[in-house]
Each structure stands twice: as structure tokens, then as C-alpha cells.
């Protein structure tokens, strides 16, 4: 198989080729490696290469699992750790220390049990904190649709690699939109599963007070469904639990949706949204109405982005980041100091260090109250909420980078950009970004679909109904 043919398949299609004997896993790995060597210099998406190990695994491992032989990339953060592999969290300090993971996460075990073969690791912003992937440690990851623009964050390296056709799907994680943001900016499908659907263990029970979920970015709905079937395995001792699906998610692809009641919201209090994002949602609403669904302007209360709500989110994230930085300092044998982090990350870390336990608990109480208030909306007859994924199309490289002379300006801009995504990290509900619109200048603009807790099945049904028969526009030209 030639790389040009390889890029025309999603992960399910490649696995079927291996199963039929049309191609070997080794040939697929060689295609992915060739594309990394060809396309990564312009994108800077892949920062660690595992080429020889991947070739050996492809040659030696039995072809088992739903994605047997399919090349895959892990994010350099979160649940993407594999024992012995370099993992640097987007940090120059951890890069200089040549830090390596001590354990393998359950998620990586499940990815590999599904037959995926890891060929490398992708770029992330420092500590995964920003909505753009431009760390000092590795430099910016660029958008395959226009390399002057950001690929999003914090899973920007993974999204750029998938959008460029290097791999058909890649690991991603989401604490405020970090699956959905890069999916929107790179024209991909990005599902943040329900809190508790995928274990963060064995090292982590919860991250960022329950805000963080792990999964992937993909190019097809069927890949999203099949991968969720493979990795949605809560483990004993996990702090959250969720009822298992009634049937495999793969069976939801193409299943009837019924007549749905859908709310639509295009406003955030932090500021205006770009007209392209408004156009994207309006077009999605018309498409859903054409399919017989009832669409109306409506949104749940409790997630309006009031200053108190935003302050509570920041308090929780800052507290956890302070602990994360303390832990990374223990790994390297020295505490982090000013200058070890970018200016905004340092300010966020010091704010967390100064946070009292009672203030942290007060912030959690506010977020839990907002979660309960929002949940009532879904109990009152609504099936879905539709919003823009982001407040703007992909920004230019450099727009969201922290600067010492403009403290927290980049943080504030990132918060506004994530105004539609972060609330559903608070509620823990499943949320999905779909590549339903391209701007006038050819940049992807995602639309976000949010369902009630545990209803990934409904999101997958709607997504497969909206997916064009020829698939969305990926890989990027």
C-alpha cells in the first residue's frame, strides 16, 4: 500500500485491509513513518518517534483487536503514558531532565489490546494548560489546513497528525475542551466521553477535580464508536462510575435517532463569537430540522459563565496544577521555580499554591451546584444542546502565547475561546465536536453537540446521520 492510498482509509478500513490480507501491519507502519517524515517538518505534530519499536511490534504481534495493525499516536500528557517512554508534558524542564514514565496507563493498555500500534508521541502546550499547542520546549504545532494557524490545544499535536493523514486516529484528553478544541480547528471528530466512562488509572483517580476525560480524535464516526467500545472500561476503585451502554456503541452508527428536541445556544457572556461560528450552528440547526427534529433557542441554566462560575473553575484548575507541578518537581529532584514555566502557567501555579483547602472545597461546591442545575434541563424534555465548539475559527500562530509583559492575557483569551466547551467538563456530560463547517478562507469550524449524562449513544446516532456518505474533508490537502 502506498501512503497516498493509506490516507484514504479510516482506522476501521485499514484494519479490514489487514484482516483480509490485502496489506500487512508492517506496511501500514511504514506508510505512517513515511508520512511523518514527509509532513511533520511543516507541522511539528510528532515530537517523539517510536519507529523501530513499532516495526518490531507489527512484525511480531498477533493481528488481534478491532484495529489490528493500525498506526496510532499518543499525546505527550495525561493518560498517554507508557512505562519507559519519554513524556515531558510540554515542559522544557522535564525535557531537559529526560523524564520517562514509570508506569503504563490502563488506557494505553486498552489502546494496544485493540491492536493499535504506537508510532510516536504528539506535541502539547506546557502542562496542557492552553487552547493552542505552542510550547517553548518543542515549538508550535501548525494547522494542516493553513500552517499560519494554530491546531488548537491541548491535543493539538494529535489533531494535526490525524488531519494531515499521518494516522487515522490519535489519543487526546480534555480538561476544558482539549479534545473538542483541536477537533474543531483541524476538521475532525472529537468526543469527550461522560465522566467515569474511561478510567484514568492506575496512577490517577481524577484529574482537575473531575474535569478531565481521556479519549481520542478521529476522522469517522464509526472509528469513534468502535474505539469507545474498546476503551470504555471503568476499573475497580475508580472514583466515578457510570452505567454501561445498553449495547455496543458500534451498533449506534446508522441507528435511528427518533424525533429529538434540541436546544441551540450561540452566546457566551465573555464576549462576542465570530460570525463563522454562528453560521456553522445555524446550518447545523437547519440540517437537523430537515431531518424532522424540533430545534429551538434554549439552554440550561447554571452554566452561563458568570464571574463566580469562572472563578470556581480557575480555583480548581490552579489547585490541581500546583499539585501537578509539585509532583513533576519530585520526579526531577528539584522544585519548579519562576522561569521554569511560561509566565501565565507560573501565575496559575502560584495561585494554586496559595489556595486554602476551604477555598478549594467552596469552588467544588459551586461547580457541583451548577452541574445539578444544568442536569435539570435534560430532564425537562430536551435531548441535545447544540453550540459552536469555539468562539472563533483557528487563530494565527502566536495569538494565544503567554507574555510576561501582558500577564494572563493569553489565559483570558483561551478562556473565552473555550467558553462553550469548559462548562461540560464541569457537568461531566458527553460532548462531541463535528466538522460541519469551513470558513470563507478554508479553515474548519466545529459544532458541539451535548447529550445527557451517559448518552454517548445518542451523540453517535446523530453524528452518523449528519456524516456525509463520502466522509468529512480529511485529510487536509
Nearest to 465 by CA among 180, 215, 252, 296: 252
Residues in the chain: 477
* CA–CA distance, 359 with 345 (Å, rounded to integer): 20
469 belongs to the catalytic site: no
Task: Give the Cα separation of 148 and 398 in Å (integer).
Answer: 9
Helix H segments across 291-395? 307-332, 343-353, 357-379
- Virtual CA dihedral for 274, 464, 77, 420, nearest 10 degrees? 30
Question: HSE-up of 379 (CA within 13 Å, CB side)?
Answer: 7
Angle at 131 between CA 130 and CA 136, to 5 degrees: 50
Query: Using CA atoms, how far apart are residues 143 and 185, in angstroms rounded to an integer?
Result: 8
Strands 444-451 and 384-388: antiparallel
Q: Could you give the angle at which helices 221-231 and 456-466 cross, rounded to 10 degrees? A: 160
User: Residues 105, 150, 151, 154: which is the catalytic one?
Assistant: 154
Catalytic pick from 75, 95, 192, 366? 75
Distance CA 302, CA 374 (A): 6
Q: Let me know if 220 is a catalytic residue.
A: no
Query: From the candidates 178, 184, 199, 439, which is the catalytic residue?
Result: 178
Task: Give CA torsion, residues 276, 281, 282, 284, to 10 deg.
Answer: 120
CA gap 174, 176 in Å, rounded? 6
The runs of H, that is alpha helices, within 333-356 are 343-353
In this structure, is the dihedral angle defined by the CA atoms of residues 444, 131, 343 and 200, taken in order, positive or negative? negative
Cα 435 vs. chain centroid, distance in angstroms? 14
Question: Using CA atoms, how far apart are residues 215 and 192, in angstroms rounded to an integer?
Answer: 7
106-113 and 221-231 helices cross at what angle (nearest 10)?
A: 120
> Which is nearest to 128 in space by CA: 188, 75, 189?
75
Residue for grid cell 478521529: 218
Asked if 117 contacts 68 with a C-beta cutoff of 8 angstroms, the reply is: no
Any idea which residues carry the catalytic annotation?
75, 154, 178
Amino acid at each position: 500500500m502506498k501512503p497516498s492510498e493509506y490516507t484514504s482509509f479510516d482506522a476501521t478500513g485499514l484494519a479490514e485491509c489487514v484482516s483480509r490480507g490485502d496489506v500487512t501491519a508492517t506496511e501500514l507502519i511504514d506508510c505512517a513513518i513515511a508520512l511523518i517524515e514527509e509532513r511533520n517538518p511543516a507541522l511539528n505534530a510528532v515530537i517523539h518517534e517510536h519507529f523501530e519499536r513499532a516495526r518490531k511490534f507489527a512484525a511480531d504481534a498477533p493481528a488481534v483487536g478491532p484495529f489490528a495493525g493500525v498506526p496510532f499516536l499518543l499525546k505527550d500528557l495525561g493518560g498517554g503514558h507508557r512505562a519507559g517512554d519519554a513524556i515531558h508534558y510540554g515542559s522544557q524542564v522535564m525535557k531537559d531532565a529526560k523524564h520517562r514514565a514509570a508506569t503504563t496507563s490502563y488506557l494505553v493498555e486498552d489502546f494496544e489490546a485493540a491492536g493499535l500500534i504506537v508510532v510516536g508521541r504528539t506535541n502539547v502546550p506546557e502542562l496542557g494548560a492552553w487552547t493552542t499547542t505552542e510550547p517553548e520546549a518543542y515549538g508550535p504545532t501548525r494547522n494542516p489546513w493553513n500552517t499560519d494557524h494554530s491546531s488548537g490545544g491541548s491535543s493539538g499535536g494529535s489533531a494535526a497528525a490525524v488531519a494531515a493523514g499521518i494516522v487515522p486516529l490519535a489519543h487526546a484528553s480534555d480538561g476544558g475542551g482539549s479534545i473538542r478544541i483541536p477537533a474543531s480547528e483541524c476538521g475532525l471528530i472529537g468526543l469527550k466521553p461522560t465522566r467515569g466512562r474511561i478510567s484514568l488509572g492506575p496512577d490517577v483517580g481524577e484529574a482537575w477535580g473531575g474535569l478531565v476525560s481521556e479519549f481520542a480524535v478521529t476522522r469517522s464516526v464509526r472509528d469513534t464508536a468502535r474505539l469507545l467500545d474498546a476503551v470504555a472500561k471503568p476499573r475497580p476503585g475508580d472514583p466515578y462510575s457510570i452505567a454501561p451502554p445498553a449495547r455496543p456503541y458500534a451498533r449506534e452508527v446508522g441507528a435511528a435517532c427518533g424525533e429529538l428536541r434540541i436546544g441551540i445556544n450561540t452566546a457566551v457572556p465573555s464576549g462576542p463569537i465570530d460570525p463563522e461560528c454562528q453560521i456553522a450552528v445555524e446550518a447545523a440547526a437547519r440540517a437537523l430540522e430537515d431531518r424532522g427534529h424540533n430545534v429551538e433557542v434554549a439552554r440550561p441554566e447554571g452554566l452561563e459563565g458568570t464571574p463566580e462560575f469562572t472563578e470556581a473553575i480557575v480555583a480548581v484548575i490552579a489547585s490541581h496544577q500546583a499539585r501537578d507541578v509539585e509532583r513533576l518537581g519530585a520526579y526531577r529532584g528539584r522544585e519548579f521555580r519562576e522561569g521554569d514555566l511560561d509566565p501565565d502557567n507560573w501565575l496559575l501555579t502560584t495561585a494554586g499554591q496559595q489556595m486554602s483547602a476551604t477555598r478549594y472545597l467552596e469552588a467544588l461546591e459551586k461547580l457541583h451546584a451548577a452541574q445539578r442545575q444544568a442536569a435539570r434541563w435534560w430532564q425537562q424534555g430536551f435531548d441535545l444542546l447544540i453550540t459552536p465548539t469555539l468562539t472563533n475559527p483557528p487563530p494565527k500562530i502566536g495569538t494565544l502565547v503567554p507574555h510576561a509583559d501582558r500577564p494572563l492575557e493569553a489565559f483570558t483569551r483561551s478562556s473565552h475561546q473555550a467558553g462553550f466547551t469548559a462548562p461540560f467538563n464541569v457537568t461531566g456530560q458527553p460532548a462531541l465536536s463535528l466538522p460541519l463547517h469551513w470558513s470563507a478562507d478554508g479553515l474548519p469550524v466545529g459544532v458541539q453537540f451535548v447529550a445527557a449524562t451517559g448518552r454517548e449513544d445518542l451523540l453517535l446516532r446523530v453524528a452518523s446521520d449528519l456524516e456525509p456518505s463520502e466522509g468529512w474533508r480529511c485529510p487536509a490537502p
